[in-house]
Amino acid sequence: MRVLVTGANGFVGTALTTRLIGEGRYAVVGTVRKASAKLPASVMRVEVGPLGPETDWQSAIRQVDTVVHVAARVHMMSDTISNPLAEYRRVNVAGTATLARQAASAGVKRFVFLSSVKVNGESGCYTEADTPAPEDAYGISKHEAEMALREIAKDTGMEVVIIRPPLVYGPGVRANFLALMRAVSRGIPLPLGAVDNRRSFVALSNLVDFIVTCIEHPAVANETLLLSDGEDLSTTDLIRRLARAMGRPARLLAVPPSVLIAGAALLGQRDIAQRLLGTLQVDISKARQLAQWEPPTTVDEGLRLTVAAL
């Protein structure tokens, strides 16, 4: 089977192509944007340039059975462009639709799309049956891309599988999760010792395992699936487990969350406070039942692997 992985040199794409090569039964095509991007020698490399509605995917999708679309304009805490939503729509909506239409025309049988729990919202306990309520430009663009893909599937018969993960951690993780790990590693006291929230996460190895399952599993065709490690953590517990994985003490101060929220508001950091103090859980019952899937990596093992690569 020939599988195309877009964004094959990225955080998820690198782990996914490595896993597919290791399976020994997939011919892997990997797309990159720049000539300088590196891929394993056994991956058929195709440079496509910037992602958008004008991208030509023809050389990448030739004789491909399944497309796994990982490439995207990712969520940014501090966006510097004047109209972020327009740019997210150009790349994540119009660019995804262009790829899907070209894939369907080329005879691709299945299109696996890496979406985001942000389609559901920013706080709460979610299932696939919940009405989408994205709050930021990134979440809106992923929701609109999902809707475009469902229309293309209806018009062409190409199967579409949509995966909505929460925050993904693993070797090579960046942004806020990396900043938190560095703070724990340096022994910086953190005022998060009294946070009693619950958040779902997914280890990179679990996400990759589920994507591989979705490449061929017949029961997930044209389904939307939430994903996580199957064990939700409070922010306090996450920090303690990170510290344990590092062999360091967790330096936590038990500051009331109400005080932290007030301080974050004064500093204009409400979004960061929401991610640290709020609850966001996903129910993965559907993934378990339809795909007969269980997360192969535990939270503690996933954190250990992440810390080892720090």
Angle at 245 between CA 241 and CA 251, to 5 degrees: 55
Q: Give the strand order in the sheet containing 66-69.
A: 44-47, 27-32, 2-5, 66-69, 110-114, 159-164, 224-226
| Alpha-carbon dihedral sign for residues 295, 68, 200, 176 | positive
Q: Which residues pair with 168 in a beta bridge?
A: 202
Q: Which of 26, 88, 126, 138 is catalytic?
A: 138
Identify whether the C-beta of residue 128 lies closer than 8 Å to the C-beta of residue 286: yes
Closest C-alpha among 170, 155, 229, 147 to residue 12: 170
| 69, containing H or E segment | strand 66-69
Q: CA torsion angle for 85, 5, 227, 90 (degrees, to 10)?
A: 10
Residues 6 or more apart from 178 whose CB is under 8 A from it?
310
Identify whether the C-beta of residue 45 lies closer than 8 Å to the C-beta of residue 39: yes
Give the whole-angstrom CA distance, residue 166 versus residue 220: 19
Closest C-alpha among 245, 240, 206, 244 to residue 226: 206
Is 138 among the catalytic positions? yes
Q: 59: phi > 0 → left, psi -120 to 50 → alpha, else beta; which?
A: alpha
Identify whether the C-beta of residue 57 lies closer than 8 Å to the C-beta of residue 50: no
Strand 201-203 and strand 167-169: pairing? Answer: parallel
Based on its alpha-carbon atoms, the radius of gyration of the chain, rounded to whole angstroms, reads 20
Residues that are catalytic: 138
